[in-house]
């Protein structure tokens, strides 16, 4: 066997070796990590889009400020600073409890993607369903703060043909359209992707790719808990769609122990994007025409 052939064989064995993948085992004397994710400082300035300049202003304006703007609700902060939709993940775990992730289903509903944050494995499929009586355009990108974005897919999401738009603006039954199924495969070293609507650019849904089952997505109270963690030393990280950096800390898990780890983000200050609310006499509500209104009948957003 030549040196070149030997090198190829060793490389193949290295890549194919099951020892480098996550291994499911029965965890004995596992520990628990619990904590809370909060934000310190004033609430960040919101990203907002002028509905008058975007298709389906009246229907999508059912969730709006009442002044013609739609706010991207990426920062949902409780009165005590608790942060919703932060993803907490544990790195360095190669063996542990069962790694069963539910299939990701995202609904386009009321010109919003729900849920806002998802967790999946690399090369998992996501299913997107249109529940609105308007058409959407699904654009998926893998993203990184430094190296920029790369297009993963761009596909139309037609509305259900049984929807009748007239008379359904402020009260209607959501009917599911034809599912769009798409595989998500990210480049090595990346674990974030974002999905946005090309017609309604305030619609976002984020995905975080994880390589073990030790993760949590915070609710309104900002709390998280990871259970059955094998004893060992790890790195605990947190990510949030509105922040530019991860927060991380080292944790040591002893058998049958409980470790507390809190994370606090400093709220970003100043302008966060090119889309912010401001008065523009060229794009006022009068452009919709006489008698046409944008009414936040579903939810009134507060800047």
pLDDT in tens, the chain (303 residues): 444 433 333 333 333 333 358 999 999 999 999 999 999 999 899 899 999 889 999 999 999 998 889 999 999 999 999 999 999 999 999 999 999 999 999 999 999 999 999 999 999 999 999 999 899 999 999 986 555 678 899 999 998 877 765 555 666 778 898 899 998 888 887 899 999 999 999 999 999 999 999 999 999 999 999 999 999 999 999 999 999 789 999 999 999 999 999 999 999 988 888 777 776 656 666 666 666 788 999 999 987
Are both 224 and 299 inside the same structural domain? yes
Are both 224 and 79 inside the same structural domain? yes
Are both 51 and 74 inside the same structural domain? yes
Are both 144 and 192 inside the same structural domain? yes
Are both 181 and 133 inside the same structural domain? yes
In a domain, 62, yes or no: yes
In a domain, 148, yes or no: yes
Are both 91 and 49 inside the same structural domain? yes
Cα torsion angle, 262, 74, 116, 184, sign: negative
Are both 228 and 295 inside the same structural domain? yes
The span from the CA of 295 to the CA of 66, in Å, is 6
In a domain, 195, yes or no: yes
The span from the CA of 170 to the CA of 61, in Å, is 10
CATH number where 170 lies: 2.60.40.420
**What's residue 200's pLDDT?**
97
Give CA 134 to chain center in angstroms. Answer: 22
CB 62 within 8 A of CB 202: no
Terminus-to-terminus CA distance in the chain, angstroms? 69
**What's residue 166's pLDDT?**
52
Are both 107 and 62 inside the same structural domain? no
Alpha-carbon distances, residue 94 vs 13, 19, 40, 126, 234 (angstroms): 18, 9, 34, 25, 11
Left (φ > 0), alpha (ψ -120 to 50) or beta: where does 147 sit? alpha
In a domain, 60, yes or no: yes
In a domain, 286, yes or no: yes
Are both 229 and 273 inside the same structural domain? yes
CB 46 within 8 A of CB 70: no
The span from the CA of 8 to the CA of 12, in Å, is 6
**What's residue 157's pLDDT?**
93
Are both 254 and 291 inside the same structural domain? yes
CB 90 within 8 A of CB 234: yes
Q: Which of 211, 235, 252 is the last residue of a domain?
A: 211
Are both 132 and 277 inside the same structural domain? no
In a domain, 4, yes or no: no
In a domain, 131, yes or no: yes
Q: How many domains does the chain have?
A: 2
Task: Find residue 193's DSSP bridge partners.
Answer: 142, 207
CB 211 within 8 A of CB 147: no
Are both 116 and 160 inside the same structural domain? yes
Q: Which of 211, 228, 255 is the last residue of a domain?
A: 211
Question: Tokens for 3?
Answer: 């040196």
CB 246 within 8 A of CB 265: no
Task: Find residue 164's DSSP bridge partners.
Answer: none
Q: Which of 211, 236, 252 is the last residue of a domain?
A: 211
CB 42 within 8 A of CB 270: no
The span from the CA of 14 to the CA of 7, in Å, is 10
- Taken as a whole, the chain contains a residue count of 303
Q: Which domain holds residue 83?
A: 35-96+219-303
In a domain, 112, yes or no: yes
């Amino acid at each position: 066997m030549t040196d070149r052939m030997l090198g190829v064989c060793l490389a193949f064995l290295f890549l194919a070796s099951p020892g480098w993948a996550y291994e499911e085992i029965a965890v004995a004397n596992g520990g628990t990590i619990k904590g809370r994710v909060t934000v310190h400082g004033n609430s960040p300035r919101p990203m907002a889009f002028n509905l008058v300049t975007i298709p389906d202003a009246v229907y999508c304006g059912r969730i709006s400020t009442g002044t013609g703007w739609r706010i991207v609700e990426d920062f949902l902060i409780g009165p005590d600073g608790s942060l919703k939709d932060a993803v907490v993940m544990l790195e360095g775990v190669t063996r542990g409890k069962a790694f069963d992730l539910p299939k990701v289903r995202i609904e386009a509903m009321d010109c919003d993607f729900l849920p806002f944050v998802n967790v999946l494995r690399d090369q998992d499929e996501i299913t997107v369903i249109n529940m609105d009586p308007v058409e959407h355009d699904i654009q998926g990108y893998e993203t990184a703060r430094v190296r920029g974005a790369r297009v993963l897919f761009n596909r139309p999401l037609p509305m259900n043909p049984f929807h009748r738009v007239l008379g359904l603006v402020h009260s209607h039954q959501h009917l599911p359209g034809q599912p769009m199924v798409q595989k998500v495969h990210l480049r090595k070293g990346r674990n974030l992707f974002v999905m946005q609507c090309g017609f309604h650019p305030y619609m976002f849904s984020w995905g975080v790719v994880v390589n073990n089952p030790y993760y949590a997505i915070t609710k309104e109270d900002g709390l998280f808990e990871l259970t059955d963690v094998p004893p060992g030393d790890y790195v605990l990280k947190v990510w949030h769609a509105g922040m530019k950096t991860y927060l991380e800390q080292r944790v040591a898990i002893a058998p049958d122990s409980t470790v507390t780890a809190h994370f606090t983000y400093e709220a970003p200050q100043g302008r966060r994007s090119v889309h912010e609310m401001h008065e523009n006499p060229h794009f006022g509500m009068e452009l919709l025409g006489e008698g046409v209104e944008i009414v936040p009948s579903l939810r009134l957003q507060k800047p």
